[in-house]
Structure 1
Amino acid sequence: MLAPPALALALGVWGIGRGGTLWGDEAVTYEVAHRAPWQIWHTAGTIDAVHGLYYLFMHGVFALWDGGLVALRLPSVLAVAAASAGVALLGRALAGPRAGLAAGLVLPLLPAVQRYAQEGRSYALVCALVTWSCWLLVRALGRPSRRRRWCAYAGVLLTACLLHEFAVLTLPAHGVTVVCCGASRRTVRAWAAAACAVGAGLLPLALFSTTQSAQVDWIGAPGIRHVLGFAAVTAVGVVCARTAPRGSGGASAGPPVPRPETLALPLLILPTALLMALTPLRPFYVERYVLSYTVALALLLGVALDRCAVVGYADRARRRAVSVVAVAAALAALCPVGTYLRTPQSRQNDATAVARAVRESGRPGDGLLFLPARRRVWTLARPGEFRGLADLALDRSPVASHTLHGTELPAGRLRARMLAARRIVAVGDPPGGPVEATGREAVKRAVLRTYFEECGRRTVTTALITVHARPGHC
């Protein structure tokens, strides 16, 4: 089963630098992870507690090797390789070696997996840990009396939840699996105890992170594209599940082992469905928050590929030819997607491109303004590009204030500093986005509208860079 992780590694290191660019969240990871551990701890106390453990982990990575963008993204590459190996072992245990090999090879080819395998965020690590929690669950169901297996299962899943809280949505999916595979009451109680341990371990972080819920105010309700995409993936999974072999995947006497679809379908559907169902209360759905659905999809596709090859073609040579053609067609279809994902244009916002555009738009001595303040995170990627520009609103820097985007001056002092400037480079969101109604943000917009005229604007990825000057000084 070396082929799946080898393929994942090859795809992961292909174009890992993306032309020296990184998007806003990666810039946050890079800057925060370079802070001292005590600074990271204090930062998590004010914002981004949900990513605190990941920042500490990345601090350790950079302490071992400060390899820039490669070091930033390499843990995600290795995590996808580990997930591919785990999916291969799951498929082997539940449906046989061919199905396991196919599933392990499918996972790193999925576009969503290729994307997050090359990002300096926690999502690939969480996906890998969820994969291995599934493997440990299958092992524990095979020997439910072994407490060490349940402890290992709970420990791995709790680690995933501490890296990102929404990994806890794996628990309902596993609960359905345990019940539907015909487990005994003793086994169900053992799983419930492990699930309670995970919940208890996560509870302090979950309660504390509710005090920082404003940082996800940018998440909107899932659009029709997201709903249709989820429906399409679910339909593919259901169709693949119908090809799965009947009976226990373990094919051995003793405690029941889940069938492939019994494990995969709940993991494919429930985490995403539950996250979308929370929308009327508060929108939380973002695809990368439930990336573990790719594990289930790869497992179902691997089993379906194996069954189609076995049932459809009895002749070995013909099966082999059909397999080669199918693989070639899949690679041909995925190649443009994979190539695009390794370009700077494939990410929402390119912090390095924004920094470069600000440098080109501004002059030494110009004022600099971020609308809203959270867009100051774009300075974290290349702070040198902003030297020579006076950040008019900044009171305390992100490091000094233990925040991601620093703290800003009171509205009165901010207004006075803006009026003292002759030219201001404003960096914000394009028209049509949400407008913050805080006093400082209102003062920024009012002063620019009343006392300055617009000299020019340019859009770089998702940033709008506008140059303002006093009348007659454009």
Structure 2
Amino acid sequence: MRDSGHRLVLLTIVLLAFAVRVYHLDFQSLWRDEMDAIRFAQDSPSALLANFTRAGWNGPLYYLLLRPWLAVAGDSEFALRFFSLLWGVLAVPLTYAVGRRLLAPPPAILASLLVALSPYLVWYSQEGKMYALILALTLLSVYLYVQALERGGFWRWAGHVSVTSLCLYVHVLAALIVPVQALLFIAWWPHYRARWRGWLVAMAALTLPYLPLALWEIPTLLSGFTTGHEFVPLPRMLNTLLVAFAQGLWPAGNWLAIAIFVLFVFLLLAGATLSGMEGYRGRVRAEVALLLWLCVPIAGVYLISLKMPIFLDRYLIWIGPAFYLLIARGVIEVGRRSRWLAAAILITLVVLNSHGLWWQAHTPIKSDFRAAAAYVRQHRTPDELIIFHISYVRYTFEYYYGDSSPYADGIPTDANTTEAWLDAVMKAQTRGYDAVWLCYSEATMWDKREMVKAWLERNGRRTHHAVFTRVEVSRYELSP
């Protein structure tokens, strides 16, 4: 196929990527992390800039970029998520560009299709957070890095350093792209040793924009700071990432999940080990690049987690293109031996992705504060207290409800909390109110024994109750 044919196919895939991402873009209710994005982006400019050196703060550049977007487009669900959608769509041609540079047009085209239809990547292209942005920026960083190594030149190196620096301020764990690229140069030394001066200057330059973050990251790591995440063993970490990239969020049955697991492991091995069209040296360079891109960040997160657990699969969303490029290459290599088998595998991948996309586009998954707020608005009178448990969900509730006053924060409890102490606090909190609403979401984070709910059940009569996705609301008439 000629270049014009590749461009036409790629354009079709990009349009497909846009279509599946814009479909039901505002179907899911906002959840608290997306509400945070709106709140932080609409903060004062001085507060936004201060976040670049604030301890424990992640993604300050994302909120800075989101601010003017919300000022123009508004803060609706659709507007917030459309910003992510644009970056998610951009990741498709960037995957093709990187794939063509490392591999060849056929696997590059196929990988761009897999990225376009990946339920996991579509999900985060429909979420008002920084994950689609960091996906696109790391792809661009890798592309510019390979360009700089192959062709040299000040502006190519400057472009690579600039984009990689942006990555560091969009998500803190994107810093792991730097050791990936450093190891790539070492592995590619025989081929690109003439670029060592430019590479050395670029690596040195990349440490400068990262210094403000390092000032708090290293002390935080050494202090034993509690992240709130559980420690995830390496095998479970690998399985979580494989399930995310292979099937997305939809819960496949046991046997189907095993079949998907086997298929993707087979394609990964085929993509990493079978001979390809690039020749031996080109094949080795591509294998090294994709495997380092895929494996080094996982190893880095695991090693950090030994001291301070930080693993969430979405933090490593930017290794997804390496995964899909290896899968695409595996399909191409299988096709060299059996076109019918490759065609069957490709159809299977498209069907699996399509099913996952349909499922998550029509299944309420995020906390449904939209429905909860509508229910409370219909049944609550203005003089009734509403308790938010956990208290942080009030911001998301009020996005749909408006001012919820009078309100109170749910009482955090732990293993040492006594019923007598809680009874005194709850009586003081509800004094003067004949009826109380409880907005209950993720409460076990603060109240594992559900003591607040139990107190209301003992001291009141429940008159209204509704359960929505990850949220429930109840009205209690209190005993005199």
Return the TM-score normalized by structure 2: 0.78
- CA offset digits 1:250-290 (Å, max 9, x no partner): 96xxxxx9722211111112212322333332221111111
Asked if 2 retains the 8 angstrom alpha-carbon contact of 1:221 and 1:279, the reply is yes
Match of 2:160 in 1: 153
Where does 1:288-437 land on structure 2 (aligned, <5 Å)?
288-309=314-335, 311-313=336-338, 319=339, 325-343=344-362, 345-347=364-366, 349-360=367-378, 362-384=380-402, 387=404, 389-393=405-409, 416-429=428-441, 433-435=444-446
| Correspondence for 1:72 among 80, 83, 90 | 80
* CA 330–167 in structure 1, closer or farther in 2 if over 3 Å, else same: same
- Structure 2 CA distance for aligned equivalents of residues 247 and 240 of structure 1: 13
- Structure 1 CA distance for aligned equivalents of residues 142 and 227 of structure 2: 32
Q: Secondary structure at the match of 2:134?
A: helix
* CA 45–277 in structure 1, closer or farther in 2 if over 3 Å, else same: closer
- Structure 2 CA distance for aligned equivalents of residues 351 and 260 of structure 1: 46
- Structure 1 CA distance for aligned equivalents of residues 154 and 447 of structure 2: 52
Asked if 1 retains the 8 angstrom alpha-carbon contact of 2:369 and 2:471, the reply is no
In percent, how many aligned pairs have the same letter? 21
* CA 382–162 in structure 1, closer or farther in 2 if over 3 Å, else same: same
Mean alpha-carbon deviation: is it higher for 277-286 or for 81-90? Answer: 277-286
Letter in 1 for 2:131: Y
Structure 1 residue runs of 5 or longer lacking an equivalent are: 252-256, 314-318, 395-411
Letter in 2 for 1:3: T
CA shift, 1:413, in A, is 9.8
Match of 1:240 in 2: 271
* CA 43–229 in structure 1, closer or farther in 2 if over 3 Å, else same: closer
- Structure 1 CA distance for aligned equivalents of residues 72 and 302 of structure 2: 39
Q: Secondary structure at the match of 1:468?
A: strand
2:180 equivalent to 1:173: yes
Asked if 1 retains the 8 angstrom alpha-carbon contact of 2:227 and 2:308, the reply is no
Asked if 1 retains the 8 angstrom alpha-carbon contact of 2:331 and 2:345, the reply is no
Q: Secondary structure at the match of 1:424?
A: strand
Match of 2:312 in 1: 286
Match of 1:398 in 2: none
| Correspondence for 1:219 among 215, 225, 229 | 229
- Structure 2 CA distance for aligned equivalents of residues 371 and 244 of structure 1: 57
Match of 1:18 in 2: 27
Asked if 1 retains the 8 angstrom alpha-carbon contact of 2:437 and 2:474, the reply is yes
- Structure 1 CA distance for aligned equivalents of residues 479 and 266 of structure 2: 60
2:131 equivalent to 1:131: no
2:298 equivalent to 1:272: yes
| Correspondence for 1:53 among 61, 71, 74 | 61
* CA 77–393 in structure 1, closer or farther in 2 if over 3 Å, else same: closer
Structure 2 residue runs of 5 or longer lacking an equivalent are: 1-6, 243-260, 411-423
CA shift, 1:207, in A, is 3.6
CA shift, 1:133, in A, is 0.7
* CA 414–234 in structure 1, closer or farther in 2 if over 3 Å, else same: same
Where does 1:86-165 land on structure 2 (aligned, <5 Å)?
86-144=94-152, 146-165=153-172
* CA 159–390 in structure 1, closer or farther in 2 if over 3 Å, else same: same
Q: Secondary structure at the match of 1:15?
A: coil
Q: Secondary structure at the match of 2:310?
A: coil
* CA 469–48 in structure 1, closer or farther in 2 if over 3 Å, else same: farther
- Structure 1 CA distance for aligned equivalents of residues 227 and 37 of structure 2: 20
How large is the RMSD of aligned CA atoms in angstroms? 3.8
CA shift, 1:84, in A, is 1.2
CA shift, 1:419, in A, is 1.8
CA shift, 1:450, in A, is 7.8
Q: Secondary structure at the match of 2:210?
A: helix
* CA 67–458 in structure 1, closer or farther in 2 if over 3 Å, else same: closer
Letter in 2 for 1:293: I
- Structure 1 CA distance for aligned equivalents of residues 78 and 359 of structure 2: 19
Q: Secondary structure at the match of 2:159?
A: helix
CA shift, 1:70, in A, is 2.6
Letter in 2 for 1:262: V
Q: Secondary structure at the match of 1:368?
A: strand
- Structure 2 CA distance for aligned equivalents of residues 118 and 69 of structure 1: 10
- Structure 2 CA distance for aligned equivalents of residues 45 and 456 of structure 1: 47
- Structure 1 CA distance for aligned equivalents of residues 342 and 475 of structure 2: 58
CA shift, 1:165, in A, is 0.9
Q: Secondary structure at the match of 1:201?
A: coil
CA shift, 1:380, in A, is 4.5
* CA 419–227 in structure 1, closer or farther in 2 if over 3 Å, else same: farther
Match of 2:470 in 1: 462
Letter in 2 for 1:391: Y
- Structure 1 CA distance for aligned equivalents of residues 279 and 470 of structure 2: 50
* CA 331–263 in structure 1, closer or farther in 2 if over 3 Å, else same: same
* CA 234–166 in structure 1, closer or farther in 2 if over 3 Å, else same: farther
